A and B are shown apart, each in its own frame.
Chain A
Amino acid sequence: MKFLEKSPVQVPVLLDKEGKVGRLFGLWAQPTSYLIDRRGMVRSRSIGIVEWEAPEAMRIIDQLLQER
């Protein structure tokens, strides 16, 4: 939270205080990133730090955004 106060971002940031979401997702390492499509399906999971500006990551996100 302190980090966000210093470096605000333009996307919603939610805090899972009791670890409920982590449990429901079967989280077993931090950080873990999930990409969820428009239908609410988990399409990708990455364990560890991800370079979201890397071409491969951008390609996957673009592809998901284009889906209807």
Chain B
Amino acid sequence: MKEKSFAVFIVFVLLAFQGCAGITPPPEGKPPIPLKKANLEAVFEENDGLEVTWEDAKEVRDFYRGGVQHKAKAEKLFREKAYPEAMKLYKSSNDFFDKLLQYLDEDWAEFPLFEGTNIFFFPNLLEADNYLKMGLILKATGREGPAQSNWKRALSSVKKSLRSERTEWGLTLQQELLGLLGSKI
């Protein structure tokens, strides 16, 4: 049954995203996508609604929605300083993103769904932001070493994001991470 589900998953990926191969990096000199347009709130709004559970997720789109939805919950808890609960949700959010990144590892500012309907698709950037926040939680709880490891992973993810889509959001995140890591990179 698992093999069948996996095969179905692969077929969907191949059918739905067959146009993704051969994507070229964004041209140098082109202005980045403004933060006003592509930002966390906009991503949350696009993925609000029917809740995706890990058990029900079958396709790339489900894993993306699941990751975003878990992140939305984590952000709320992070603001409330409910760190252990937020940490769990950041991790589960990244579990969703890790899964889909095995099949589609680029970020898109205009990801085509159907009939001219596009959405933001930023798994790398969102994963980077999750690692950043997890690092901040670890630092706040006195665990500087693991915090640094998380920020390094965040930096790697944000670089991947910027290679496929140059966004102000990504550039801001990269700047923040470089500041946090200081001379440790």
Interface residues of A (CB under 8 A from B): 19, 22-30, 42, 47
Contact = CB atoms under 8 A, between A and B. Distances in A.
A28 B112 CA distance: 9
25 contacts: A19-B117, A22-B117, A23-B46, A23-B48, A23-B49, A24-B48, A24-B49, A24-B50, A25-B49, A25-B50, A26-B47, A26-B49, A26-B50, A26-B52, A26-B61, A26-B62, A27-B113, A28-B59, A28-B113, A29-B16, A29-B114, A30-B114, A30-B115, A42-B50, A47-B12
Contact of A29 (B47, B52, B113): B113
Taking chain A's interface residues, is the majority helix, strand, or loop, or is none over half, making it mixed?
loop
Contacts, number: 32
B65 interface: yes
Of the listed residues B46, B48, B113, the one surrounded by the most CB atoms of chain A closer than 10 A to its CB is B113
A27 B59 CA distance: 12
B11 to A, nearest CB: 11
Interface of B: 12, 16, 46-50, 52, 59, 61-62, 65, 113-115, 117
A24 B47 CA distance: 7
A28 B61 contact: yes
Contacts of A22: 117
A42 B53 CA distance: 12
A14 B23 CA distance: 38
Contacts of A28: 16, 59, 61, 113-114
A42 B56 CA distance: 10
Contacts of B59: 28, 47
A30 B49 CA distance: 18
Contacts of A47: 12, 59
Contacts of B16: 28-29
B174 to A, nearest CB: 29
Nearest to B46: A23
A29 B114 CA distance: 6
Nearest to B66: A26
Contact of A26 (B65, B114, B115): B65
A33 to B, nearest CB: 14
A29 B15 CA distance: 11
B93 to A, nearest CB: 16
A59 to B, nearest CB: 18
B43 to A, nearest CB: 13
